[in-house]
Amino acid sequence: MSNIRITKQFSFETGHALYGYDGKCKNVHGHSYKLSVTVIGSPITDRSNVKFGMVIDFSDLKKIVKEEIVDQFDHATVFNQTTPHIELANELKNRGHHVILVDYQPTSENMVVDFAERIVARLPHGISLFSLKLQETESSFAEWYASDNL
C-alpha cells in the first residue's frame, strides 16, 4: 500500500518576546501564526473500519493539534522562563493574562520543534509526523521535517 501525506492547517494568535535580541522583536509583540501539519501513513484497508480509505481522519488530527497547540497558545504570551522576562510574565499572570513559560527562546524555530514533540507524542500507531510549517508573517516561516531529525 502507498504512503500518503495528509496536511491540515491551523491559525492562532500568540505574543512573545525574544530576550537579548538586538532588533525590534526584543519587545513584546504578537503574530498571526499559521501552522501546517503534515502526517504520513498508509490508508486503512479494512473495509469494516469506519475510517476505511483514510490515513487519519482530519477531525482526529484536528483534535490533537487543537488540544496540544492551538488551544494552549492562542491568545497567550510566550516567555523564556530562564530570562529576566520571568518578572514580566509573573506580573501579567497575576493580572489574569494567559502566559506560557518555556525553557527556550520562543523563536519560530524553537516553537516548531516544541510543537513537533507535542504532536508526535499523540499520533496513533502507524501515523508519523512528516513535517510542520510555522508561519509567523506572510513571508517568514520555520519548517520541521522528520527526515532532518532522525
- Cell representation of residue 33: 501564526
CATH number of the domain enclosing 76 = 3.30.479.10
Residue 111 pLDDT: 98
For the annotated catalytic residues, the residue numbers are 25, 75, 136
As a whole number of angstroms, the distance between CA 19 and CA 26 comes to: 6
Number of domains in the chain: 1
Task: From residue 108, give the alpha-carbon distance in Å to each of 12, 35, 134.
Answer: 13, 11, 7
Whether 36 contacts 112, CB under 8 Å: no
For residue 112 the three cell numbers come to 516548531
User: How many CB atoms lie under 10 A from the CB of residue 46?
Assistant: 9
- Mean pLDDT for back-to-back runs of 10 residues, the chain (150 residues): 95 96 93 98 97 97 98 98 95 97 97 98 97 97 97
The range of the structural domain enclosing residue 20 comes to: 4-148
Please, what's the b/e burial string for 47-76 (b: 16 or more CB within 10 A of its CB; e: otherwise)?
A: eeeeeeeebbeeeebeebbeebbbeebeeb
Predicted pLDDT at 20: 94
pLDDT at position 56 is 98
At residue 102, the pLDDT reads 98
Instruction: Please report, in range form, the residues annotated as the binding site.
Output: 16, 29, 31
Q: What is the pLDDT of residue 146?
A: 98
pLDDT of residue 80: 96
Residues placed in the known binding site for Zn(2+): 16, 29, 31
